Structure 1
Amino acid sequence: MAKYSKQVVCCEDEINILEVEGTHVCSKCGLVKDMLCFYNTAASNEETEPWNMFLLELCNRAEIGKSTRLSAECYYRMWAKSHSTLSKKVLLACAIYIACKNHNIPRSLKEVSAISGVDTKRIGKYEQLVSDKCYPTKAADYVNRFGCKIGLNFSEIKKVIDNISLGMNTRSFNPIALSAAYIYKILSLDHEKLKELEKVSGVPISTIKRICKCI
């Protein structure tokens, strides 16, 4: 697999990053990040087994930090040893999916599927096979990342999270869809921003608007 590389910008330079209430903000451009991710795959001194390089590649694609990556690596090693007949590629995707949930920076099944090329149903099935723990996610867990991707600033993201914490009777909704709905409703996004939100969250505009009527 080709080594992953990307152009370095101001928010990828650690010296420019400030930590504000648990969220990382670039002092140059104002970008909010839910997890620091400064390591470079090409320069990594990690072991070079194919699965390890693939894991590094996936973590870079998903902007996943080192602590979460190490958790995913531990999961994979454990599962690969105890479930030697299962697909290694699917196990890696599943390990990333569960590690992200465990570190409170969840990625949706669609996102993990997009970066790994593994079908969402297979990831879900493997999760049931290999994991005996449940890591439930909340709508607020997704706001930082969705907000960053559509260009929201820190105060806007915080406003949405605060409103989610005050919400009532929302447990029946998918947390990803609920997060997108709150972002749209609280910030009164225009149509272009709404289309961007649909793209990054994977939630159809019709679903976002339908949930907005219930919250």
Structure 2
Amino acid sequence: MKFGCFQNPLLSGSDLSTVIGRPTGSSGFDDSGQPRYQTNRRTMNSSDRALLTAFREISNMADRINLPRTIVDRSNTLFKQVHDGKTLKGRSNDAIASACLYIACRQEGVPRTFKEICAVSKIPKKEIGRCFKLILKALETSVDIITTGDFMSRFCSNLSLPTAVQRAATHIAKKAVEFDLVPGRSPISVAAAAIYMATQASEEKRTQKEIGDVAGVADVTIKQSYKLIYPRAHDLFPENFKLATLIDKLPQQ
């Protein structure tokens, strides 16, 4: 009889199973009447041990932010490629695993912010960012450019905003980019500023801090992007949006 984990195709094939022999006669039992087991357990090599540890960490991080198995599988494959290539020596496996999870989210079309990955990994944003760039270079891979739309639905949902406000915020962000009002600003900060503007014009007002906590950006970052789009506020709202606060009465910063 054999017990143990299923074979992971990303491992080298170490046999972690335990073979249990059938007890026979009196010698098959100890003094307390429990069966004696004969085990044949091979030692896992250090490479597979490091991989398994990283895979567990990736799975745990993904569980904390409700990411699907496809993300975990892609993250594991990325980590395995980096591990085998030995191109990120000196970097902690936890930091590499966190960066792989961030990349997998981007590649699978469900991007998460660096701050969201930091929150579940306890690795500083700067270190994840460094590993992110090194991995893309080492594996000669790429990620799709993120847009405001990649985050809008999730941010608005986490803020418990109605569909009408989400649509307005999406429209505001899209127009702000089209009018080139936010050059050099990150899509996350633009999305946050658009949400702030939309909520301030609605009955569902949210503060910059509330939005920043959900979006993972500082209040000052939202304020800076908002100041860039505010002068064109009249041109940013969708025509059918029901204003609870007139555009002229919106906060100026």
TM-score (norm 2): 0.59
What's 1:29 paired with?
none
The answer to whether residue 155 in structure 2 is matched with residue 150 in structure 1 is: no
Cα distance in 2 for residues equivalent to 1:155 and 1:73? 39
Aligned-pair distance for 1:208? Answer: 1.7
Query: Are residue 118 (structure 1) and residue 130 (structure 2) matched?
Result: no
Q: Which is greater in Rg?
A: 2
Q: Which residues of structure 2 form unaligned runs of 5+?
A: 1-50, 230-253
Aligned with 1:98 (options 79, 99, 103): 103
- One of 70, 83, 97 as aligned partner of 1:80: 83
Secondary structure, in 3 states, of the residue corresponding to 2:228?
Answer: coil
User: RMSD in angstroms over aligned alpha carbons?
Assistant: 2.3
Match of 1:174 in 2: 186
State how 1:194-205 maps to structure 2 within 5 Å: 194-205=208-219
User: Structure 1 residue runs of 4+, over 6 Å off?
Assistant: none
Q: How far did 1:134 drift?
A: 4.4
Q: Distance in 1 between matches of 2:220 and 2:101?
A: 30
Report SS of the residue matched to 1:214: helix
Q: Does 1:49 align with 2:58?
A: no
Residue 166 of structure 2 corresponds to residue 161 of structure 1: no
Instruction: Work out the CA distance in 2 between the residues paired with 1:66 and 1:161.
Output: 29
CA contact (8 A) 1:160 1:186 kept: yes
Structure 1 residue 187, shift from structure 2 partner: 2.5
Q: Encode CA deviations 1:102-139: one digit per residue, 9 max, x unaligned.
A: 22322222221121011111111112222132432112
- What amino acid maps onto 2:174 in structure 1? S
Percent identity of the aligned residues? 21
Residues 1:213 and 2:227 are matched in the alignment: yes
